[in-house]
Amino acid sequence: MPQQIFIMDNDEDLRRMLRWFLESRTMCEVCGEAVNGVDAIEKARALNPDLILMDYSMPAMNGIETGAVLKAMLPQVPVILFTSQDTSAIESAAISVGIRAVVPKTDIGRLAGHLEILLC
């Protein structure tokens, strides 16, 4: 059975690209999408995904704030922050709330590596 992945990003084109990238792997299926942190919290609670992939820069709540709520709500679900921001500047804050990894949006190969590790 494919692993269920939840995507949070306010950029529709990026969500479409991520869905294609993730579902091109036989082990992955996108179970839902959200456009901001509030939306993500509601949907993730209902969907209980195997992994959450989210952006840092979001309306309403940023990725760190949303990640903290998601980790408290679903502590067993790994969260990856996929961002165009300077990853070194936000990595310690992300790790401190339980986010598993911070991956630059420019490094799809690194994202693939984290998926392999977390979903196998």
- Encoded tokens for 3: 């692993």
In this prediction, residue 67 has a pLDDT band, given cuts at 50, 70 and 90, of: very high
* CA distance to 1, 7, 46, 104, per residue, from 82 (Å): 25, 10, 22, 6
The domain 3-119: what is its CATH number? 3.40.50.2300
Domain limits, the chain: 3-119
Q: At what angle do helices 63-73 and 87-96 cross, to 10 degrees?
A: 20
Residue type, 42: E
pTM here? 0.92
Q: Over the chain, what is the mean pLDDT? A: 91
CA atoms of 98 and 78, how far apart (whole Å): 8
Q: What is the pLDDT of residue 75?
A: 96
pLDDT digits (tens, 9 = 90+) for 6-44: 999 999 999 999 999 988 876 889 999 999 999 999 999
